[in-house]
């Protein structure tokens, strides 16, 4: 028995567990699920994840786990990607919650409309994009404050916090975000891409 990941290749949320499992040498099966077609809102998928979204991870024992950052925490347990120290572990969670509340709803959503579903953009969406850019630049500014003089978001090692925020920051330019004014973030992106076991977003298991 191995892990099964319901995943959409263009999704940064789905990239998070794909990347960490590859970095940890964990074998998994991938079921490509085009969430843009509404398939995750059909009864068959809702029976697996009542929230109707990918990624969805099926553990080797058959139990299910949704929410990409929860998957990172689960998979990273006992590995170098999850700090042991109580405060550092809480800091990792601090960045994961920041990612879901401040970063993903702005940086990822702008990229999704601009690069993944450009044909669906209407007048209302154009106004929303301005708001996502404002919020996204604010989130990038928070990250830059830390990364201007630190290699990693938590302590001195690459952790789940870095992988969670990497997923959509490294494709932020696809959402028309300009990363030129963020040298700390750009150096950090290169640092993550140089980590052992790193695979790009378009990688998938055989």
Ligand X SMILES: N[C@@H](CCC(=O)N[C@@H](CS)C(=O)NCC(=O)O)C(=O)O
- Which CB atom, from 33 or from 82, has the smaller least distance to ligand X? 33
Tell me the closest approach of the beta carbon of residue 180 to ligand X, in angstroms.
26
- Which CB atom, from 36 or from 205, has the smaller least distance to ligand X? 36
Contact 142, 2 (CB under 8 A): no
- Which CB atom, from 9 or from 191, has the smaller least distance to ligand X? 9
Provide the b/e sequence for 151-175 (b: ≥16 CB within 10 Å): ebbbbeebbbbbbbbbbbbbbbebb
Q: Going by C-beta distance under 8 Å and a sequence separation of 6 or more, which residues neighbour residue 134?
A: 106
- Which CB atom, from 45 or from 177, has the smaller least distance to ligand X? 45
Which residues are registered as beta bridge partners of 4?
Answer: 29, 58
Tell me the closest approach of the beta carbon of residue 198 to ligand X, in angstroms.
20
> What percent of the residues of the chain are helix, what percent strand, and what percent coil, each to the nearest 5?
55, 10, 35
Tell me the closest approach of the beta carbon of residue 15 to ligand X, in angstroms.
9
Report the interface residues with ligand X, using CB under 6 A.
8, 11, 13, 35, 40-41, 52-55, 67-69, 100
């Amino acid at each position: 028995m191995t892990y099964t990941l319901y995943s959409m290749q263009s999704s940064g949320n789905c990239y998070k567990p794909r990347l960490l499992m590859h970095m940890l040498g964990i074998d998994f099966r991938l079921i490509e699920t085009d969430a843009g077609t509404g398939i995750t809102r059909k009864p068959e998928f809702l029976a697996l994840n009542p929230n109707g979204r990918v990624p969805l991870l099926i553990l080797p024992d058959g139990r299910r786990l949704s929410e990409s950052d929860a998957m990172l925490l689960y998979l990273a347990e006992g590995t170098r990607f999850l700090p042991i120290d109580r405060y550092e572990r809480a800091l990792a969670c601090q960045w994961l919650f920041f990612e879901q509340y401040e970063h993903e709803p702005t940086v990822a959503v702008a990229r999704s409309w601009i690069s993944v579903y450009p044909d669906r953009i209407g007048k209302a969406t154009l106004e929303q994009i301005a708001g996502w850019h404002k919020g996204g630049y604010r989130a990038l500014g928070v990250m830059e404050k830390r990364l201007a003089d630190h290699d990693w978001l938590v302590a001195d090692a690459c952790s789940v916090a870095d992988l969670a925020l990497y997923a959509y920051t490294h494709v932020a330019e696809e959402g028309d975000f300009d990363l030129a004014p963020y040298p700390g973030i750009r150096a950090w992106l290169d640092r993550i891409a140089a980590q052992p076991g790193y695979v790009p977003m378009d990688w998938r298991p055989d």
